[in-house]
Amino acid sequence: MKFIDTLTKYTSYITALIMALLVVLVVYDATLRYLFSQGSTALQELQWHFFDVVILLSIAYTLKHNAHVRVDIFYDNFSEKTQHLVNIFAYIFFILLFAFLIIYISLDFVVMSFAQHESSSDPGGLPYRWIVKSLIPLSFGLLVLQAFKELVSHVQKWRAL
């Protein structure tokens, strides 16, 4: 289980690096565009690709640190044992099932993109769109691992109460 947390931690380091590069890229592109009246389709698409990387690779990290979206209106008033039970139910029937569905659906999506050598339809756009699309099953695979680790943790805590 420590491996999963370590994998999530190092993935977050990659995400932080990509975010820093994204900031630099946005400043560079805005400077070119507004000060020198030059634009680049490839730079704009690269910004979107970096944004995709940040969002997709942050999903497991967000779950690990319990920073995901949850409606806490009732949850906060539940006993600790009931909270763990709600989390167990949510991990099994929402997060894991949804993540497996996304992985299943996105694999064909990535394979088709790779087989077609999909690239941007815009002139001057980026090739190899399958690389970004391959982050979909990868990121949800990381989510499955983290959700499984959290599920086991909540089951252990629930049993201990």
DSSP class of 92: I
CA distance 57 to 19: 11
- What is the Rg, in whole angstroms, of the alpha carbon atoms belonging to the chain? 20
For 52-56, 119-123, 155-159, which range has the lowest pLDDT when averaged over its residues? 119-123
**Angle at the Cα of 79 (from 60 to 64), degrees rounded to 5?**
10
Confidence (pLDDT) at 76: 86
Query: Which tokens in the block code for residue 64?
Result: 């690990």
Query: Which tokens in the block code for residue 14?
Result: 């990659």
Confidence (pLDDT) at 67: 85
Residue 71's Cα: distance from chain center in Å? 20
pLDDT of 88 above 90: yes
Over the stretch 13-51, which tens digit does the pLDDT of each residue have? 999 999 999 999 999 999 999 999 898 889 999 999 999
Confidence (pLDDT) at 60: 96
The structure's pTM equals: 0.91
Over the stretch 90-112, which tens digit does the pLDDT of each residue have? 999 999 999 999 999 999 999 99
Confidence (pLDDT) at 90: 93
What pLDDT band is residue 75 in, cutting at 50, 70 and 90? Answer: confident
